[in-house]
């Protein structure tokens, strides 16, 4: 994603806010689970969409800190086989 695209996404955070980002993430996850839970291709598509939501969050925003903890947990899971319970 180019810097200009990232800046456009971050400017949208002011409109969406924490609640808007959260609601959108929940909707994406629910839609995936209800419609195509066993579709690997769709799962990868959702990862991209969730990454786009993550990109909207300004780096000094608390929601970014929360999302970064999720990134760290999944990193530990993949690299060290340490599964973190949410």
* H helix intervals, the chain: 3-35, 40-56, 62-80
Average pLDDT over residues 23-51: 92
Query: Exposed, middle or buried, 15 (CB in 10 Å: 0-12/13-18/19+)?
Result: exposed
pTM (predicted TM-score): 0.79
- Return the pLDDT at 1: 78
Predicted local confidence at residue 86, as pLDDT:
59
DSSP state of 70: H
Distance CA 37, CA 60 (A): 33
Which percentage of the chain shows pLDDT scores above 90? 50
């Amino acid at each position: 994603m180019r810097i200009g695209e990232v800046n456009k996404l971050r400017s949208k955070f002011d409109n969406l806010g924490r609640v808007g980002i959260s609601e959108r993430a929940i909707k994406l996850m629910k839609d995936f689970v209800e419609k195509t839970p066993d579709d690997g291709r769709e799962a990868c598509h959702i990862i991209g969409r969730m990454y786009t939501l993550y990109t909207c969050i300004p780096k000094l925003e608390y929601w970014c800190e929360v999302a970064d903890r999720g990134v760290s947990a999944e990193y530990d899971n993949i690299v060290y086989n340490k599964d973190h319970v949410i």
